[in-house]
Amino acid sequence: MSDSTLEQEAQQRHAIEAQITQLFAPEDDGLRQALQAAKQAGLPEIQINPLQGKLLQIFAAANHSRKILEIGSLAGYSGIWLARALPADGRLISLEIDPKHAEVIRASFARAGVAERTEVRVGNALEQLPALQAEAPFDLIFIDADKANYPHYLEWAIKLSRSGSIIIADNCVREGKVFEASPGMDEDTAGLVKYNQLTRDNPLLITIVLANDNDYTDGFNISVVK
Ligand SMILES: C[S@@+](CC[C@H](N)C(=O)[O-])C[C@H]1O[C@@H](n2cnc3c(N)ncnc32)[C@H](O)[C@@H]1O
């Protein structure tokens, strides 16, 4: 296929995605301001996209989530989408290792109207997860932190779940490089390969991978606990 045909196809995909976003997942001021605040604070722009945010909300609503756990908050963008799917007395606990993100996140949660049902816990997620057993089960767990640790996060996510809980992990497509081990792969890729295999092979889980980001070259791994 010629370069110009490929370019035309890419443009068409972008246009369709933009149209669906505008119709089904438009950002309001709370979400837009969260992105602005992140930029001003110099945080990287590596958050989920609006269609993924809406999908998180659909899963949360589908299993009547009241308690959600997020591993990797960044600036609170995905946290806002998740928290808005909760009932007024629901709770989102979001774990973030970088203390300089916490103030940005809390301010963005407040502007988006979800301060009361959200909590940011600062520290290494792996060290924080054992204490969360006292607050389990979580109805939905969203994993979006350091990729090398995804297999450990999965182990904890299952421990902190109930039958019907949904476990979603971001960046599980990576241009198709994360379905099979390859020689010399870095530890992030190795973590993602293992995560995809573990979720696929665990008889306790029903899992699918969905390419829904970066022009369909990356996306979610979605599991339901049987
Ligand atoms: C891809 S960003 C999260 C994006 C966010 N979920 C969103 O879509 O708006 C990954 C975040 O995980 C955090 N992180 C990395 N390693 C971590 C760890 N061991 N424990 C907790 N957070 C970690 C990073 O500091 C970063 O803010």
pLDDT of residue 134: 98
| Residue-wise pLDDT tens digits, 184-204 | 999 999 999 999 999 999 999
ipTM for the predicted complex comes to: 0.99
User: Ligand 1: which residue has its CA nearest to atom 27?
Assistant: 74
Ligand 1 neighbour 37 (Cβ under 6 A)? no
What CA–CA distance (Å, rounded) separates 135 from 117?
A: 15
| Residue-wise pLDDT tens digits, 14-53 | 899 999 999 999 999 999 999 999 999 999 999 999 999 9
CA distances from 126 to 35, 50, 114, 171, 190 (A): 27, 28, 25, 19, 18
Amino acid at 59: F
User: How many CA atoms lie less than 13 Å away from 146 in the CB half-sphere?
Assistant: 13
User: How many CA atoms lie less than 13 Å away from 217 in the CB half-sphere?
Assistant: 8
Domains by residue range for the chain, with CATH: 3-225 (3.40.50.150)
| Residue-wise pLDDT tens digits, 43-90 | 999 999 999 999 999 999 999 999 999 999 999 999 999 999 999 999
Ligand 1 neighbour 48 (Cβ under 6 A)? yes
Site to substitute for ligand 1 among 36, 39, 47, 96, most atoms within 8 A of C-beta: 96
Residues facing residue 77 across a β-bridge: none
Ligand 1 neighbour 67 (Cβ under 6 A)? no
User: Ligand 1 centre from 4 Cα, in Å?
Assistant: 37
User: Ligand 1 centre from 8 Cα, in Å?
Assistant: 34
State the closest ligand 1 atom to the C-alpha of 75, by its place in the atom list counted from 1. Answer: 9
Ligand 1 neighbour 95 (Cβ under 6 A)? yes
Ligand 1 neighbour 96 (Cβ under 6 A)? yes
Ligand 1 neighbour 72 (Cβ under 6 A)? yes
State the closest ligand 1 atom to the C-alpha of 46, by its place in the atom list counted from 1. Answer: 1
Collapsing DSSP to helix, strand or coil, 111 comes out as helix
What CA–CA distance (Å, rounded) separates 119 from 135?
A: 13
